[in-house]
Amino acid sequence: MKSTIEKYKMASRKEKILVACSGGKDSTALALILKKNGFAIEALHIDLGLGEYSRNNRDNLAKFCKENFIKLNLVNFREEAGFSLLKALDKCLEKGESPCSICGPVKKSILNRKAREMGFTKIATGHNLDDECQGIIMNIFRSSPSASNFGPSSNPKKDSGLVTRIKPLFFCAEEDVRKYARMQRLHVSGKICPYSVNVYRREIKNRLDVFEKKIPGAKNAIVKNFISVSSRFCKKERELGRCLKCGEPSSGETCMSCKAICKAVSLLKERRQRIK
């Protein structure tokens, strides 16, 4: 992780880094390694309000941060987004739609806005080698290699309103992060989100694990090769404007987060009408 930070000039020890902490093993391990290596970090946790799963994550993270002298910023999804994620995701599942299409963009927007408002220059996320490798294969199979968002570090324009995102665990295998979390006896539950129904990603993950066993280093090679060729087909990033609804950075009139909120609100309206 240290060599990735250095090679990609991700961060210096003088700047403020906000670590997006879900309470899972990757982001918790990331926070600990950054802290141990002298980076000025704070943690931000978005409480999704998804029952026991969210309560466990929040409590584990609070304990971890207290023990490691890391300031924890808690944000409540419902207060920020104005709707109950739990009810919206239940409705999504009922209709056979992807819960992550609502949760993901709203979380991302909250994280960026909070980091910017609190004066952080970097947002660190716990994406690991396996996540990145799965993403590459999934996008290739869907013939949408979105190279513009790919890489260990984003590079937004200065006045775009976007805070630079860094992924220090980009070249760390998930299994190694898991071992590290065990060795450090981190308080993590290991449970996956109850709304994570992405069977496609899981299938890709299982197949990549089989390849990795047969050809050790396969995942690393896929990611490194993709980095070396991605600049050739990377579409030029579109100029970012501002969302007409919320004022956050957006490539269209309405940002992805506002679109997701609109969708959630209409799903919840349907739900209320049915209950009546």
Name the residues that contact Zn ion, by CB under 5 A. Answer: 243, 245-246, 255, 258
Which tokens belong to 63? 């304990």
No. of helices (H) and no. of strands (E), the chain: 11, 7
For 206, residues 6+ apart whose C-beta sits below 8 A from its C-beta are none
Q: C-alpha angle with apex 169: 203 to 70, nearest 5 degrees?
A: 120
Cα distance between residue 196 and residue 96, in whole Å: 13
In angstroms, what is the minimal distance from the CB of 133 to ligand SF4? 18
- The residues with which 46 forms a beta bridge, in sequence order, are 75
* Tokens 């992805």 sit on residue: 256
d(CA 53, CA 50): 6
Q: In terms of CB distance, is 10 or 260 closer to ligand SF4? A: 260
Applying CB under 6 A, which of residues 4, 73, 121, 196 lies at the interface with ligand SF4?
Answer: 196
Residues 136-195 that bind ligand SF4 (CB under 6 A): 193, 195
99 binds ligand SF4 (CB under 6 A): yes
From ligand SF4, Zn ion, none, interface partner of 72 (C-beta below 5 to 8 A by class): none
- Could you give the C-alpha distances from 137 to 45, 111, 221, in angstroms and in order? 29, 26, 13
When the beta carbons of 11 and 111 are compared against ligand SF4, the nearer one is: 111
| Binding range to ligand SF4, per CB under 6 A, among 3-11, 96-104, 116-124, 225-233 | 96-104
Q: Is 260 in the site for ligand SF4 (CB under 6 A)?
A: no
H-run or E-run covering 219? helix 218-233
> According to CB under 6 A, which one of 21, 44, 65, 100 is a site residue for ligand SF4?
100
**11/131 with CB nearer ligand SF4:** 131
Residue 152 or 161 with smaller CB distance to Zn ion: 161
- Binder of ligand SF4 out of 18, 70, 103, 267 (CB under 6 A): 103
Looking at the Cβ atoms of 5 and 85, the one nearer to ligand SF4 is: 85
**CB 17, CB 122: distance < 8 Å:** yes
Minimum distance between the CB of residue 189 and Zn ion, rounded to whole angstroms?
32
Classified as helix, coil or strand, 120 is: coil
Binding site for ligand SF4 (CB under 6 A): 99-100, 103-104, 193, 195-196
